[in-house]
Amino acid sequence: MSTVPFLVPLARFRSPLFERIVLMKSAITLSLVDEARGGPFVFWGDAKNAISQAHQMGFDAIEIFPPDADTLRHLFLAKTLADHGLSVAAVGTGAGWVKHRLQLADEDEIVRQRAIDFIRTIIDCAAELDAPAIIGSMQGRSSHAVKCETANAYLREGLEILSRHANQYETVVLFEPLNRYETDQANTLDQGLNLIDGLPNLRLLADLFHMNIEEANIANSIRRAGKAIGHVHFADSNRMAVGLGHLDIPPVIAALQEIGYTGYLSAEVFSKPDAAKAAQQTMDSFRTALNV
């Protein structure tokens, strides 16, 4: 029996806002990138073990941060994922920056081209896993050689090419605004909306950690972005699992329900105090927030 017909009436019974109940899905992050050690990912290194643990804890999906497309492909994860009934929520491209120093706004045309090529290969292998690719830190930033507006034009050119590339798979690419200490290209959802305007295969990734730093009002920004939001990084104010910081989560969930968001809440958080506890805290917060 499918769980959906069971969960919908249950969720309606529990909430006075039943007209607005929308189911979202849970995901947890896995990093395979040594150079990103200490970064905001729950599981590290052993993909098959992470998939098994995520399944045991009740997650719907795993979000993977690989060093490159070939490494991910050669892990042959499709069977392990299917055996555990787990999906891939998204595949990150951040290693293009942290490991290979590639960015879409680079002053050097050759580096920009290599950045586009790197993301193309991740879009390809993500599509094989039925998942979208994420562009976060590879958006890049201005430098002494490239003014902010020029960097923005380079970035937009790259996004146009990648939107066309994703179109062949009928998949989307997730563009992620980051806080001011990581980029000067798109810090808010409004700036992200502006950058992806008119690109049919681009959606926004709303990372609650970055939004807590940059947005005047997180819930209102979510409402303005509406259907352009394709993914959410579910993190608290201090980038710990939700519930371990001071972010007010209920208005955020209410805004996501209002816009009819049915995608993932994916925990891109520190593996603290350890992976199992960060994952369990995330799952507890997810269930509390969604009343499921």
Which residues sit at the interface with Mn ion, rule CB under 5 A? 207, 233, 268
Query: Which residue number has the CB closest to ligand LER?
Result: 136
Q: How far is the CB of 155 from ligand LER (least distance, A)?
A: 16
Q: Do 176 and 135 contact (CB within 8 A), yes or no?
A: yes
Report how far residue 84's alpha carbon sits from residue 76's, in angstroms, rounded to the nearest whole number: 14
- Residue 106 or 207: which CB sits closer to ligand LER? 207
Find tokens 């593996």 and name the residue: 271
Q: How far is the CB of 37 from ligand LER (least distance, A)?
A: 12
CB crowding 256-281: b at 16 or more within 10 Å, else e = bbebebebbbbbbbbbbeebeebbeb
Identify which of 45, 67, 65, 43 has the alpha carbon closest to the alpha carbon of residue 55: 43
Encoded one letter per residue, x for contact with ligand LER by CB under 6 A and - for no contact, window 213-252 reads --------------------x-------------------
Choose, by CB under 6 A, the member of 30, 268, 269, 282 that binds ligand LER: 268
Distances (CA, A) of 94 to 11, 210, 220, 278: 36, 15, 28, 21
Q: How far is the CB of 155 from Mn ion (least distance, A)?
A: 17
Residues 70-99 interacting with ligand LER (rule: CB under 6 A): 94
Q: Do 146 and 185 contact (CB within 8 A), yes or no?
A: no
Q: How far is the CB of 136 from Mn ion (least distance, A)?
A: 6
Q: Which residues 6+ apart lie within 8 Å of 187 measured at CB? A: 177, 178, 179, 180, 210, 214
Choose, by CB under 6 A, the member of 66, 67, 96, 136 that binds ligand LER: 136
Q: How far is the CB of 165 from ligand LER (least distance, A)?
A: 20
Interface residues with ligand LER (CB under 6 A) are 39, 94, 136-137, 176, 178, 182, 207, 233, 268
